[in-house]
Amino acid sequence: MIDKINALLREVEEMKAANADEIEALRIKYLSKKGEISQLMDDFRTVAADRKKEVGQHLNHLKERAWQRINELKDTFADTQAIDDDIDLTRTAYPVKPGTRHPLSIVKKEICDIFGRLGFSIAEGPEIEDDWHVFSSLNFAQDHPARDMQDTFFIQHASDILLRTHTSSVQTRIMETTQPPIRIICPGRVYRHEAISYRAHCFFHQVEALYVDKDVSFADLRQVLLFFAKELFGQDTKIRLRPSYFPFTEPSAEMDISCNLCGGKGCPFCKHTGWVEILGCGMVHPNVLDNCGIDSNVYSGYALGMGIERITNLKYQVKDLRMFSENDIRFLRQFESAN
């Protein structure tokens, strides 16, 4: 078999080609799956065990040398190719229009950067979740409407596997595996069984924040919210907190900001109230801490969550939520300068 290999090696050394088609023909003849070297590889199985090492070395050398010769011929051919006289090498390149990040990505990064300056780190989790992390661990009652199939996408009928309805499931996963202090933000996509319209969609994006430590108070939460609003919407922005209810926080509140269009004077966008709601928040319910293995007698914390689409609407006055998922180039090009 070594004689066959040496004979083939001499053929490889003498290979010549005048153009790219001939080079490709040589490659197919020697190196394709049905080529002559591949056939020798098949015959190698019949070589006696005491000669396999010697024959294998010759065979590998042949294959390596064949590839080297093919590449040498390609280089020689490339060096000798004539340049088309019709090509003007002094002409500037055709203008290539730069792309842009999606507006939701732009706003998400800005939100994450603001909380990053406050010491929050990013945490992520699965979009396909179980009932415990989405509902039960967060103090949702067994008869809560969110557990109904008309509000939530379940993977299978009568199953506890579902598409997460909020990124709070990431918070519970972190609290189960991490002891305080915990300071995280959880950006991600969530799903709810809603009719698609200009103001609602069956999927959207959230950013939630969680801080758990000793002696965390509602005053800490308010200061973080005020800092966030001023950084995102401008230093003249004011906030107000209205009492609300969420199963996983107590007390709970919804936060409004002064309308950034009219400066709080009242306009159609803010329904002439001067205020626009942007997020929900509150102190983490003791039951949630206990469910996740954190002693609520020692630790306390706050949580807040917002829809990225909602914030993007406020920043860029996008009136139809469907625009964010339709990939209309005309719409996306408006955000080139926002990169």
Task: Tell me the C-alpha to C-alpha distance, in Å, between residue 123 and each of 113, 207, 209, 270.
Answer: 14, 10, 10, 33
E strand or H helix at 177, and its extent? helix 168-177
Q: What is the pLDDT of residues 205-238, one digit of tens each?
A: 999 999 999 999 999 999 999 999 999 988 988 9
Task: Tell me the C-alpha to C-alpha distance, in Å, between residue 260 and each of 193, 201, 265.
Answer: 31, 25, 10
What's the pLDDT band for 339 if we cut at 50, 70, 90?
Answer: low
Q: Percentage of the chain surpassing pLDDT 90?
A: 42
Q: Which residues pair with 242 in a beta bridge?
A: 254
What's the pLDDT band for 158 if we cut at 50, 70, 90?
Answer: low
- In this predicted structure, what is the pLDDT of residue 230? 93
Return d(Cα 303, Cα 317) in angstroms, integer. Answer: 27
What's the pLDDT band for 12 if we cut at 50, 70, 90?
Answer: confident
Residue 254: both structure tokens together = 């919804």
Half-sphere exposure (CA, 13 Å, Cβ side) for 19? 2
- In this predicted structure, what is the pLDDT of residue 255? 95
What's the pLDDT band for 79 if we cut at 50, 70, 90?
Answer: low
pLDDT at 77 over 80: no
Mean pLDDT of 132-138: 92
Task: Tell me the C-alpha to C-alpha distance, in Å, between residue 303 and each of 97, 110, 186, 252, 296.
Answer: 42, 19, 11, 9, 15
3-class SS of residue 283 = strand
- In this predicted structure, what is the pLDDT of residue 291? 94
Please give the residue that has the higher pLDDT: either 189 or 26.
Answer: 189
Q: What is the pLDDT of residues 19-35, one digit of tens each?
A: 888 888 888 888 888 88
- In this predicted structure, what is the pLDDT of residue 221? 96
What's the pLDDT band for 252 if we cut at 50, 70, 90?
Answer: very high
What's the pLDDT band for 281 if we cut at 50, 70, 90?
Answer: very high
Mean pLDDT of 9-14: 84
Closest CA to 167 of 150, 189, 151, 182: 189
- In this predicted structure, what is the pLDDT of residue 78? 62
pLDDT at 289 over 90: yes
What's the pLDDT band for 115 if we cut at 50, 70, 90?
Answer: very high
pLDDT at 57 over 60: yes
* Averaged confidence pLDDT in the chain: 86
